[in-house]
Structure 1
């Protein structure tokens, strides 16, 4: 209760006292000291505000303790990251009084948190030296070329058709694998960028007997232009592709949150990854300047995202993870206290959403002379590129420009419609797959187009100008029935690991309490129907976006 001061005496209420005559020698009246003053007269001064500082510090510290007990975490410092084959996602816990509010960081390009795991190199044919990545913090970034020379995510994906040799994707499919692995051979057949064996003299034993990607990239080995050796190609390891993606995710996080506090991550990896694959995955984060604080297996992260570790009556969970590159099936056991253990994993390392795209692409190539359309374009492009290369060797400096850059610049129409190439047919296949998913009961027809060379005119073309003038629109169409026919074998393969893992663990279908659907391919209505029917469950856990489930779960366990 605030005390009120006593009422002030007004000047007019004062009465004048009679004036008394004083002698020339005045006598001072000594003030009487109170007993309390006499008691503390020798004490030191209190110090005023200075004396209160320790108390204030104690109050602030006590306040922080109370806020911590209430769950307030302040600014996020750790991210949950899913570095995927087709897409990648980064999520953080939002500062709040309650733990568990997860926010996945969107890309401002399209406001989506689902970032394509695609990188594309800008070719500086003018000979600009490579910048070195550096950082003043303890988390050192080790990326060469500098990230400013690399496009990542949605914008990189748009360059697959126009710059197929500069643009790398599906790198996780061959991460930690040897050059002779079947997965490497299959990827080589589906992409246009070069896949080569690693150099044996590489001192890092993790990289030996592995694979690299080779892309066009003019650069000098020295610090300045003209210093050292000039190179026109660049070799990149699969984990380096991952480093550029992680660096992009961290930059998105920094810009979105408005601070640079997030420097470490809880990461999720496939349960079937071997020791080498786990090590090179961590290496990808380290080279991006990110400290890995915890490694979760992807199925565990997915179960945590749905809070199934805390749900009553849940003992066995199946995580059906059907992503862009692989199919992974895991059976989890929830023990007393909410501990989640992976009982076993199975899957298909060479079956993913990309294989559905490839199936459509192959069907289109076999339909209406598609192979001939692609071959005509490919033959003419190779002939023009060879001629320009010969002119370059003859000393024509103007021919030193990157051919794909020159092609896009010479043919503005390619900005809207891609050439009919192997890469563009796969891109078109993905679009058609997505379009036909809107017709779960069949009856759908989708259409796309690309630019080709008319039959019989390919031999008349010798320059870029002739090539651009000769391009004509090629219409492509695909129906629901054609799609189901093209992917029928893939549907069958998608259930084999489910049956196999249950048999291996001696589990019956009725012992499965929950099924979690993870990965973009599980958006396909046919896949959901097949899995639900196969396991005989009443419902599937699908309400969290299947593309962000793993990163969401990783972010939920941040300490």
Structure 2
């Protein structure tokens, strides 16, 4: 019998795991990462990129790089009007007033785009297991309604997966902590700070059954906002030193974005880090280099209001 995989299909990143013995194992992708950016890009020569390669060219190919597609899953165009200005790619009205992404004159439904990410997760699992994978369990936010859950199921099926179950993300977190093994009734708060969203769910546990009592959050607060604070800080510092705003240069901004995310991760385990980007830009006087030290306390100061 084939293995069933578990997929966390996230707004910003996704990951895939499999049970080995009684333990879940998160499977690294072909780039060696345990998470894969939920990003799909279409290049000028017609190639399709998914994951890290798509993310790496996002700033230089903004109109054909699709991210945060989860925000459009199972929703009508009039429900996502506030989201439209947040993305550089084109979202238009499709059949039955659904949201569609337009790339080079072709319309893609959000489940079709999500399916491309799921196909990448499926392939990652197949390479690791050495066998075909046809079944999956996929997690969704607790606040997803029926049409959003159905859209997620459709995405799985387009990707060639039979979706055995859709489960709530906070329930998955509670299971990971083995809370279902404690034979007592309890009320648990699960906080989920992701790349693009932040939410809290209150779960009632009893007899191995999870019931989501309440859920709330901010669908526009996450790790990406922390990265943006660092990007702006680095750009402002460089502008003060050199008089050049790197945010106006797509190539430089792409490098700045990657460096900010790397610095944020390093500051989780170090008290300071150096952001060193040689040849970040050039003037008539020659090439310019960015070299800025950031301390953890400076970073905490930059994101203080977000954490509050």
TM-score normalised to structure 1 length: 0.49
Higher RCO structure (Cα 8 Å, ≥6 apart): 1
Pair 1:151 & 2:49 matched: yes
Pair 1:267 & 2:138 matched: yes
Alpha-carbon separation, structure 2, partners of 1:451 and 1:210:
41
Alpha-carbon separation, structure 1, partners of 2:246 and 2:109:
29
User: What is the aligned partner in structure 1 of residue 187 from structure 2?
Assistant: 316
Alpha-carbon separation, structure 2, partners of 1:372 and 1:238:
38
Given that 1:330 and 1:342 are in contact with CA atoms closer than 8 Å, whether structure 2 keeps it comes out as yes
SS in 1 for 2:212: strand
Pair 1:287 & 2:158 matched: yes
Given that 1:92 and 1:104 are in contact with CA atoms closer than 8 Å, whether structure 2 keeps it comes out as yes
Which of the residues 63, 66, 70 maps onto 1:168? 66
User: What is the aligned partner in structure 1 of residue 268 from structure 2?
Assistant: 437
Given that 1:373 and 1:452 are in contact with CA atoms closer than 8 Å, whether structure 2 keeps it comes out as no
SS in 2 for 1:420: helix
1:434-462: CA deviation from partner (whole Å, max 9, x where unpaired)? 122224xx5x24323264444568xxxxx
Spell out the pairing of 1:477-492 with structure 2 (5 A cutoff).
477-492=293-308
Post-superposition offset of 1:323: 0.9
Pair 1:106 & 2:14 matched: no
Pair 1:338 & 2:208 matched: yes
Post-superposition offset of 1:245: 0.9
1:244-286: CA deviation from partner (whole Å, max 9, x where unpaired)? 11111112222222222x2121111000113332222222112
TM-score normalised to structure 2 length: 0.85
Alpha-carbon separation, structure 2, partners of 1:161 and 1:448:
19
Does the C-alpha gap of structure 1 residues 420 and 235 become closer, same or farther in structure 2, counting only changes over 3 Å?
farther
Post-superposition offset of 1:234: 5.1
Unaligned runs of 5+ in 1: 1-74, 126-148, 189-193, 215-231, 379-418, 458-469, 493-559
Post-superposition offset of 1:153: 2.5
Q: More strand per residue: 1 or 2?
A: 2
User: What is the aligned partner in structure 2 of residue 210 from structure 1?
Assistant: 99
Spell out the pairing of 1:101-250 with structure 2 (5 A cutoff).
101-110=23-32, 112-124=33-45, 149-160=47-58, 163-177=61-75, 178=77, 181-185=81-85, 187-188=86-87, 194-198=88-92, 200=93, 202-203=94-95, 205=96, 208=97, 210=99, 212=101, 214=103, 235-250=107-122
Post-superposition offset of 1:150: 2.2
Does the C-alpha gap of structure 1 residues 332 and 450 become closer, same or farther in structure 2, counting only changes over 3 Å?
farther
Given that 2:63 and 2:90 are in contact with CA atoms closer than 8 Å, whether structure 1 keeps it comes out as no
User: What is the aligned partner in structure 1 of residue 232 from structure 2?
Assistant: 362
Alpha-carbon separation, structure 2, partners of 1:475 and 1:167:
29
User: What is the aligned partner in structure 1 of residue 221 from structure 2?
Assistant: 351
Post-superposition offset of 1:168: 2.9
Alpha-carbon separation, structure 2, partners of 1:266 and 1:327:
22
Alpha-carbon separation, structure 2, partners of 1:478 and 1:173:
33
Does the C-alpha gap of structure 1 residues 289 and 272 become closer, same or farther in structure 2, counting only changes over 3 Å?
same
Unaligned runs of 5+ in 2: none
Number of equivalences: 304
Structure exhibiting the larger radius of gyration computed from Cα positions: 1
Alpha-carbon separation, structure 2, partners of 1:322 and 1:266:
21
Post-superposition offset of 1:425: 3.0
Alpha-carbon separation, structure 1, partners of 2:27 and 2:273:
35
Alpha-carbon separation, structure 2, partners of 1:362 and 1:425:
9
Does the C-alpha gap of structure 1 residues 341 and 164 become closer, same or farther in structure 2, counting only changes over 3 Å?
same
SS in 2 for 1:107: coil
CA RMSD of aligned residues (A): 2.8
SS in 2 for 1:332: strand
Alpha-carbon separation, structure 1, partners of 2:7 and 2:134:
12
Spell out the pairing of 1:426-505 with structure 2 (5 A cutoff).
426-439=257-270, 444-449=272-277, 451-455=279-283, 472-492=288-308
User: What is the aligned partner in structure 2 of residue 420 from structure 1?
Assistant: 252
